[in-house]
Amino acid sequence: MADSKDANVPVIDLHNISKIYGHGEAEVRAMDGVSLSIAKGEFVAIMGPSGSGKSTAMNMIGCLDRPTNGDYLFNGVHVGNLTKDQRAILRRNYLGFVFQGFNLLPRTSALDNVELPLIYKGVPAAERRAQALDALAKVGLKGREHHDPSELSGGQQQRAAIARALVGSPQVILADEPTGNLDTKLSLEIMELLKLLNERDHITIVMVTHEEDMATYAQRVIWMVDGRVERDGPPAEVFDHERHSA
C-alpha cells in the first residue's frame, strides 16, 4: 500500500501540519504549522519542553491522529485521507510502537504479547511463533519467552515491547519516552538496542525524549516549542544552541 519504489522519497513527510483542539477562546494549537521530513534509516529524537507538542507530533507520525490542517505523507501516501481502519492496517504493516510505560498486556506471556501484532496481520500460528521467538532473541530475551510482564524487570519489559514493535518487520519504530521509566544503566542498554536496530536492520527510528543523554544516540534532534519546530539538526548543534539561548 505505502511502499515506495523511489528510495529518495522520505518515509515521513509532514507539510505545514496543524493540530487544533477546542474552539475560540479554548483553542489549543498542539501543532502549529509543522513541516519536517524523515528519510529512510534515520534515527531522530524529538525533544522539547512539556506542552511543546512533541507527543502530538508523535501520534501524528504514528498515524494514530489526523491533522486539522496540512498534509502528512507516509511513503508518499496521504494519511489524512485514510479511514481509521486503513490507518490501523498501515500501522500494523509499517510501524512499530514502543511506549514509556511498556504497555504490555498484563498476565500475558512475553511470547503472546509479541505475537499480538501478527495475529492482527493474520499470520499463521506456526510462522507467528517462529517470528516472535526470533524477535525476542534479537532483543536478548531468549529463555524468557513464557514469562508474564510481572515476572520481568523494567528493562526486560521494554525489550519485550521493542520485540513486539519489531516483529512485523516495520519500516519505522516510534518510541515515546522509551527510557522514561528506567534507570540510567537500563536506559543506556535500551538505547544501544535501538541504535543496533537502526544501524544493522536499517529501521527508521523516531523517538520522543526529554533526556539529552538519550537524544545523543540519535543522528538528528528536532526541538519543538509551542507546537512549532524551533531547531532541527545534529544533537550537538541543537543542544549547543539551546544552552546558549537559555
Partner 1 sequence: MIWETVRLAIQAIYRNALRSILTVLGVVIGVGAVIAMVTVGQGSSDQVTADVAKLGTNVLMVMPGAGQMGPGNNSVSAALDAKDVEALIDQLSSVRTAAPYNATSLNAVFGTEDTRTSVAGTDTRYLDVVDWPIVLGRGFLPTEESSGKAVCIIGETVRQELFGNTNPIGEKIRLKNVSCEIIGLFEAKGASSFGSDQDDIVLMPIKAFQRRVTGSTDITMIYVAAASNVSTDRTLVDIEALMRERRRISDGEEDDFNVRDMKQMASMLTGITDVLTGLLSAVAAVSLLVGGIGIMNIMLVSVTERTREIGIRLAIGATANQVLLQFLVEAIVLSMIGGIVGILLGLGLAAVASNVMAIPFSPDLAIVAIAFLFSAAVGVIFGYFPARRAARLDPIEALRHQ
Cite the beta strand spans of the chain per DSSP E. 12-21, 28-38, 43-47, 69-74, 77-78, 95-98, 172-176, 204-208, 220-225, 228-233
User: Can you tell me the distance from the alpha carbon of 183 to that of 246, in angstroms, rounded to the nearest whole number?
Assistant: 27
Of 2, 9, 20, 64, the one binding partner 1 by CB under 8 A: 64
Give 32 or 115: the residue with its C-beta nearer to partner 1: 115
Q: Does 196 bind partner 1 (CB under 8 A)?
A: no
Tell how far CA 55 is from the center of its chain. 10
Give 17 or 221: the residue with its C-beta nearer to partner 1: 17
Of 1, 28, 119, 236, the one binding partner 1 by CB under 8 A: 119
For residue 157, what are the contacts with CB-CB under 8 A and spacing of at least 6?
102, 104, 149
Q: Does 54 bind partner 1 (CB under 8 A)?
A: no
Q: Does 97 bind partner 1 (CB under 8 A)?
A: yes
Q: Does 84 bind partner 1 (CB under 8 A)?
A: yes
Q: Does 92 bind partner 1 (CB under 8 A)?
A: yes
User: Can you tell me the distance from the alpha carbon of 207 to that of 201, in angstroms, rounded to the nearest whole number?
Assistant: 17
Phi first, then psi: give them for residue 90, nearest 5 degrees. Answer: -60, -45
Give 114 or 193: the residue with its C-beta nearer to partner 1: 114
Of 54, 138, 159, 164, the one binding partner 1 by CB under 8 A: 164
User: Can you tell me the distance from the alpha carbon of 187 to that of 183, in angstroms, rounded to the nearest whole number?
Assistant: 6
Q: Does 121 bind partner 1 (CB under 8 A)?
A: yes
**Number of residues near partner 1 (by CB under 8 A):** 30
Q: Does 85 bind partner 1 (CB under 8 A)?
A: yes
Tell how far CA 67 is from the center of its chain. 18
Q: Does 150 bind partner 1 (CB under 8 A)?
A: no
For residue 10, the tally of other CB atoms under 10 A from its CB is 18
Closest CA to 210 of 50, 58, 64, 69: 50
Give 46 or 221: the residue with its C-beta nearer to partner 1: 46
Closest CA to 70 of 48, 59, 78, 51: 78
DSSP-derived 3-state class of residue 176: strand
Give 63 or 193: the residue with its C-beta nearer to partner 1: 63
Question: Site residues for partner 1, window 166-185 (CB under 8 A)?
Answer: 168
Of 10, 48, 117, 178, the one binding partner 1 by CB under 8 A: 117
Residues lying near partner 1 in the complex (CB under 8 A): 59, 62, 64-65, 84-85, 88-89, 91-93, 95-97, 99, 103, 105-108, 112, 116-117, 119-122, 125, 164, 168
